[in-house]
Structure 1
Amino acid sequence: MAKRRESRTSQKSHEDDLRLENALEGKEQPIYNVPQQYNGLPVINVPQRRFGPPPIDKQSEEYRVHLEQMEYINKHSELKPRFDSMLTHRLMQTVHGDQRHPQHPYQDVYLLTYDQAYIHAFLLLHENSHEHYTYLICHGISHQIEDLSSIADRFFRDFGNVLIIDYRGFGNSPGKQSERGAYIDVQTAFDYLLTLDTIDRKRIVVYGVSMGVALVIQLATEPHNSERIHACILENGFTSFQAAASERSIVAKLLPSRVFSVGMRSIDKVHEFHVPVMYLIGLNDRMIHPKNTKQLYEATVNSKHCRLEIYADAGHTNVKDMPDYIKRSYRPFMKAVWKVHHPDDAIPQPPILVIDHGKSRTVSVDDYLDEQVYHVPSTDLSSCSFLFCQK
């Protein structure tokens, strides 16, 4: 009985892998024949938005780019279903349940991914959405979208438009979590933003925290995405999934890397980072050692603009909530990023914060940006003393 059950499980796993492989190669057409609703919410068919109505033009430039993006995802994914173990899932702390909703007006939707998964999302757009920056928010290991509804509200109130998703297997997104699946989910969400006429598609900022940092790095280091992302903000990430797991479990520390079904080896990719990026460290982080972010920063050698900000009193997910975050880190970074994209100053920078939009017509960006330079006192970080630094 046990052998038959194991055989059925193995066969189903093989069928799922084959179905995914076919979908990524464009051999599977039912992406166009999906219900318009899932769990009572509208379904947005991202593949159809990107490639148009069937049949897919497989000779098109857009489809060629898509295949290269999927190849990049497969290249950086751990594809070992037999090691898709209980240990890995426990470390990922998948959570399901009913969700809180943002306080601000939002659209509650499902996005159809390229491999026919459904991912739940909140989209928050300002009335004058095209005037604002747009933020794609990638959450962490133990979060689900309901935990971040307050963050979505905060980003919407202060920073601009917001798209926040739950990866498959988290929150109200069905399916089984995997490294490859999470990468596809984030790529799908980003591509969805690129289909929206209501936003400025040249001002998309991708924010990641914890595991979300690994997903943002995967997205932003893919060559076709690199020129489409305005900037990345990365808060307390890890160099690899095993490095993060080893700090939570003695067993994980002793196991060889090949037994993990999640790799997320960001340290192997950040040298391909060309997008402007700001790394944030909270020295009171009890989940992921701050040295991980330091190592990622030091390995980011090709970014157009790279910045590291260290907060002595911040923890794992609250650097952006520090009282001086906007003045000390966010505004200077966003101003520097604009100069990277517009070195000739031919185009004046729009207001960086939503709260500044009310005075944007009468006050120039230089008038309300604080030019003060902040220096962080030297701090011992695992026998490495270093200062606030900017490349």
Structure 2
Amino acid sequence: MNTVLQEVKIMKDKIDQFTEQKRPDLPIYETLKATTIDTSEIKDPLIVNNNNRRGKKEPFIYKKYYKTMDVACIPRSIPEDETHQAKKIQAQLAILGKLKDSPNILKFFGISHLENQMVMVVEWAELGSLREVYNRCDIAWPAKVQIALDICRGITFLHTCAILHHDIRCANIMMTLRLEPKITGFEYARLTTSATTSMSELTDVVHWLAPEKLKFAKEQPYNTKCEIFREKLRFGRDKPEIEELQQEYKKIIVAAWQEDPQIRASLQYLFLELNRLAHKYYDPRNTSPTLKPDKSIDLDGTLHQVSVSDSKGEDLPDFGDEFCLDSLESLPEIRSLEEGISAHKKKETKKAWEIFCEHANLGNTRAKYWKGYYLWEGYAGERDLLSGANK
């Protein structure tokens, strides 16, 4: 995997170099091309059924057979001329081909021609998108945690390659028959320095955007914190069926949903927490089905009996009783790091210590410094030089 990361970074550096110099005539550009697959290597699937063609209208996505693998042939308009833009797209597709070494990225094998049409040949995902899966079925909650962890692995791999997806949502997560998530949907291979392009179907993605992108679309560049907000949004829509897991997962949602990107949890923190939950609650040896008929799991609470006339129902307040929303459990609010620094200046060390710990636990590097400083100086109680030095 380290070799792949090095190769991707070298290829990215070359693209950046040529983009800045605007010299598509340089010979090195010829080496950055997507793999071309001969049409004769693309075969019809062994078993023919209605699922071999996807899409409501043309151009359709076709299931084919390539080198003992089921693949999807996706029609794409990819320029084949010698312009600077065409060569840049080819170079980006070459990077996309390298990303297939990650088990949580949809594998891109190359480009080919199918019935006089240019197609991208990618890994076949039998269950379709994650959005299609949860619209058809109920996903057992422990399996959801494992899916979220695998998606986090894929995003981490992209970020390690200095690549931002820009469009993380359920429709861009493909699911295999084994319920393995595969990230797709990024336009060729955007680099972290690339600007976010305007989105034509804004109504489909606006509720996935991080708050800073909604408020300051032009001034605020898209970064890893935006991807974290979008990544956690997918599984916050369902109520978990396991009470203990619900409480633990809620903490992750709160950490990832912070409006201030400086407070929002780091990807490393999310990965470690999801990994902990997956090891605790998900058992691959469990024979119970992870996909169940729709509405068979009470994910949103609507299947619970709540009427006073139902057995085990909840009592509703009388008309004369006051009903206060303050009695309902709310998500905890995380105070800003600046508030902690301000408390330190006012010598309110207890308050400052609590805030520094909150942010340090979310992976904030600056907060870790302050936490280490407090441990070193003994502001947190007893002086702890060893822990302070390790922060």
Q: Same fold (TM over 0.5)?
A: no
Structure 1 or 2, whichever has the larger Rg, is 2
Q: Normalising by the residue count of structure 2, what TM-score does the alignment of the two structures yield?
A: 0.29
TM-score, structure 1 as length reference? 0.29
